[in-house]
Every structure is written in structure tokens, then in C-alpha cells.
Chain A
């Protein structure tokens, strides 16, 4: 072992050096990301959808849960083959659903729920996955083996099965839905973080921190976790669409959010039931969801290329 005693001064220098290197990496990555046209377009589209989801339901004259039995399943005015027209002067841009509720507002309301579930559950999985992976990787040996073995076991069952059982157990509360999905999709995150941790803990700066007497959990918090941010960020952008998909999947099976609340999965399910008479009720939510999933995937790919240029 070739270690020189560290005084406060050299530790500071070291930290500064790490900080400088880190910043230039991020600036590089950002520049590369903004050169990726697909990723930039996706970010703009996502921002528009998010803004619309936040603002539009407030501005629209139609509340998302107001039933109107005079306008059941009426088509938008511009629909090519005229079925039941909404004679409200073109105000129902996407038509109405089987209970006469304005579909435009409901699709955007569904966007709120779907995006919120996506973000919240991803956050839960981020916290669990990063902590779990960092601890397993950092302590290594028996602890690592036991912890990763557990992950392997959970891996051998499609996660959706666990979520379905969890949803049945916890009775379909929307916040529990966030937690249930998040509590299941952290597995890959844990694996990624563990792999990174294994290599980072061999680095000199960790050795230096240890020599300076920093506690184990402090090393994990201050030195390991900040250095796994890159791969974790890439995986987060790819987890969000997975979670949105999982939530819609559950809602489609009738296990997700409950009326009058809605999500894209619920809307697609409703649309499927009446697609022969009112195809717009299926097409619009499906379109919004597909576009959103697309955007997240493009951003994720773009981020990966930006943060890890040797992969190209």
C-alpha cells in the first residue's frame, strides 16, 4: 500500500479536482444531448404535453367528471364520418366518452395521473434501488451475495405479477399504486448501481476518504452515490415509460385508478369497449400515450449517448 497521510488541505484539493472534472463532463454531455435532434424534439413535445396537462383542465369549460347524458359518445365536429355530432359548436375537440364527459379534458387529466405515477414511482424505485445497490456493492462479500440473490429471485417473476398481487393486497389506493410499482421496478436500478459501485470503490479517492477516517455510510453518501449519477439518470428516463406502461396495464385490467379519476390506461380500456361506435375514444388516449412513451425512450437513448460517448 502506498498511501500518504492526507491533511485537510489536500483533501480539499482533491475534492475540488473531482468537482472540476465532474462539471466539464456534464457540460460536454449537455452539448452532445442538445445536438441529438430526436432527443431535443422529444423534450419539447414532452414539455408541451406536461404543460397542457397542468393548464388545460383548468381553462376548459368542461370539468373532467361532469356527466352529460345529452352528449353521449358524440364525435368531434371534424370527424370524417359523421356519427353523433356534438351540437355544442365544436367545443369538444376530441368528442365525448360513453358518459358524455369531454374527452379532451379527460385525456389531459389522464396525462396528469399517468405522468404523476411515472415520476412518483420512479422516484421510489430510485431511492430504493440506489441505496440497495450502493450498500450491496460497497460492503461486498456475504452481504452482497445475499442481497443480490434476493434480487435474482424477484427477477425470475415478471414484475407485473407482483404488482397485481400488491394492488389486490393494498386495495387500489392511488398513492399505494405509486409505492407498489416503485417497490417492484427498483431491481434493475439496484443492479446497475451495484456494478458501478464495485468499480468506484476501488478508486483512489475512496481509499483517501477511508484513510482520512470517513465513516462507511458517509463514504457511500458523499463519494459513491454522486459518482453513479450518470448511468442512474439514463436508467431513470427509461424507467418512467416502463412505469407509465405498468400503471396503464393495471388500469386496463381494472386494477388501477378508479372512477372518476382517470389515466391513459383507463381511457384506452374504455375506448376499447366502444371502439366500434366511438373510435375516437380509443385513438386519442392511445396516441397521447404512444407519443409520450416514444419521447421518453428517445431522451433516454440520447442521454446514454451523451453521457457515454464510447458506446457510439
Chain B
């Protein structure tokens, strides 16, 4: 187990390296540089700027310099956001993105698991079909459609329930105040709720047919105990391997959600950086994302082995 973990960890390093290399050279092929502007600067000044960021050297040397700095955990200065290093920007943005993502994941797990379980318990009844139809809607309708529509309903028109105004702010972060989190987290969680509900329903249906559940029923355990004590444990296993793809989905979704709701996370930096050729910022965010995904995939695989004693990673 430990040797497997170490091997996987070491295997992640070349993966990251290849991703960094691809991203680095792709950004450099792009026409235009970070310091192009409408008004041409005097050549001396332009040369000085280029030299300050090592942009006057051949690309392979820049690549070497970048890797050298990276080995010292330095992601370099941002080319466009003056006076900030990429590390600082990520330090500011990552907690915001992480909080958004983690809340969405938590919401998705709670709702997805309960909806999926109920659908499985009432298999092929109206409740099942209802939940699965809604899940299909959740999966097919993209974030950038649900976000504006929910904003329209809850933010612009406003909603009044039982005499209370439950309208929500349509943007901004406000240091993660609850009201500001509701809409972005919901939007981000919707597709995940749907996917998790489908996953859980599928595995739950299978588990409920197995022999040990029949045994539990035969000895007279009430239904809710059978589900919570026996069935859920086995039915939730496939969820663990969904963790990796879920994180990737959340990150993609957060690009849009951060843009729409004006949330200062790192997804927004990526889009801005790509648009105005902020090489170091884009690379920094890509590295950060890739590392996160690789790490979570690794954790998911290890967790799977811990939870399911039938899985063994020996070799």
C-alpha cells in the first residue's frame, strides 16, 4: 500500500512536468506578447522591459529559467498585474476558489446521495422517474445558462416567500458572506448533484438486491437501518472514484461562475491571463490546477483501497 502510494506520487512528477512543458511552449507560440500596446514604446524602454522579464533571451533559455525558479517554488512575477507575484495572486485567489468549490461539493454530496438513495428505494415509481428526469436536466443544462437564469429569478425579479424577501445578491464576494455564496454555490453544485444522484441510484439499486441486504431484512431490521447501516456503505464506493472527475468539473465550472458572479478566485485570473498573454500567471494557474487534480485522483485511489478491502494495490 505504502509502496503503491509512493510509486504513484513519483509518477505524478513527470506528468506535471509534461503539462508544464506543453503549456509553456503553447503560450509562447501565441502571437503577440504581454507588453504589446497600441502605442509603441521607445526601443530602449521596450528592451529594458523585455530584459527585466528575461523575454529577450531565446525561448529555451526562458524555459530553463522558469523551471529553475519553479524548483524553488517561485512562480515568477505576474506580467500584467503590476507589483504582484503569481504566488501572491494564487495565495489570494485559491482560498476563495477552494471555499466555493468545497461548499459546492458538500452540497452536491448531501443532496446527491439522498436523492439517489430515495430514487433507488422507490425504483421505477413516480419519485424515481421524477428525480432522474430532474437529474437529466441538471446534467445537460450548462452552468452559464443556470447562472444567469437563477440570477434573474432570485436577484433581479426577487422572490418573496411567506412574506419574507429571499432575494439574493447577484454578485461580489463580500468575504464569503452566506448570502453571497448561495447563488454561485448552487449553480456550481447543480450538475454535480445530478451526476452523484445518478451514480448513487445505480449502485444502490444493485446493492439492494444483494444477499446480505436480504439477510438484514430477514432478521427484521427496519428499512431505514438497512439503508443507513448496510446499503449506503457499499453503495457509496463508486462515488470515491468519481472524486477526481468531479474536481475537474468543478474547476471548469468555477471559470464561468467566478466570471459571472465577480468572485475573486483563480479561475478569473486564468481567463484574464490567457487573454492578455500573462504567461507566468496562466502557467501558475495551470500548474496549480493540474497538481490539485493529480493529488485528488491519488487520494481517491488510495481511499478506495482503504474503504474496499477487496481492492489491493500490490505488484
Contact = CB atoms under 8 A, between A and B. Distances in A.
A158 B19 contact: no
Contact of B274 (A156, A164, A171): A164
A153 B255 contact: no
A248 B144 contact: yes
A165 interface: yes
Contact of B142 (A165, A245, A272, A283): A245
Interface SS, A side: helix
A272 B29 CA distance: 33
B149 interface: yes
B248 interface: yes
A249 B270 contact: no
B275 A290 contact: no
A232 to B, nearest CB: 21
A265 interface: yes
Given A249-B142, A272-B260, A294-B136, A157 B270 contact: no
A255 B152 CA distance: 24
Interface in A285-312: 286, 289-290, 293-294, 297
B62 interface: no
Interface residues of A, number: 37
Contacts of B152: 275-276, 279, 282
Contacts of B211: none
A268 B149 CA distance: 10
A297 B140 contact: yes
B256 A249 contact: yes
A107 to B, nearest CB: 14
Contact of B297 (A156, A255, A286): A156
Interface stretch (B65-73, B225-233, B286-294): B286-294
Interface string B68-91: 000000000000000000000000
A293 B141 contact: yes
Interface in A25-56: none
A268 B144 CA distance: 8
Contact of B255 (A157, A160, A282, A286): A160
A37 to B, nearest CB: 13
A165 B26 contact: yes
B251 A271 contact: no
B290 A157 contact: yes
Contacts of A153: 15, 18-19
B256 A252 contact: yes
A282 B147 CA distance: 11
Interface string B248-265: 110110011001100000
Contacts of B271: 164, 253
B270 A164 contact: yes
Given A156-B294, A253-B255, 17 more contacts: A157-B286, A158-B252, A158-B293, A160-B252, A164-B271, A166-B26, A168-B277, A253-B259, A254-B275, A255-B274, A272-B147, A275-B151, A286-B148, A286-B149, A293-B140, A294-B140, A297-B140
25 contacts: A153-B19, A157-B286, A157-B293, A158-B293, A160-B252, A161-B270, A165-B23, A165-B27, A165-B30, A169-B26, A249-B142, A268-B144, A268-B145, A272-B260, A275-B148, A276-B156, A279-B152, A282-B149, A282-B152, A286-B145, A289-B142, A290-B140, A290-B141, A290-B145, A294-B137
Instruction: Identify the 6 closest CB pairs spanning chains A and B, nearest first.
Output: A272-B148, A293-B140, A169-B30, A286-B145, A158-B248, A158-B252
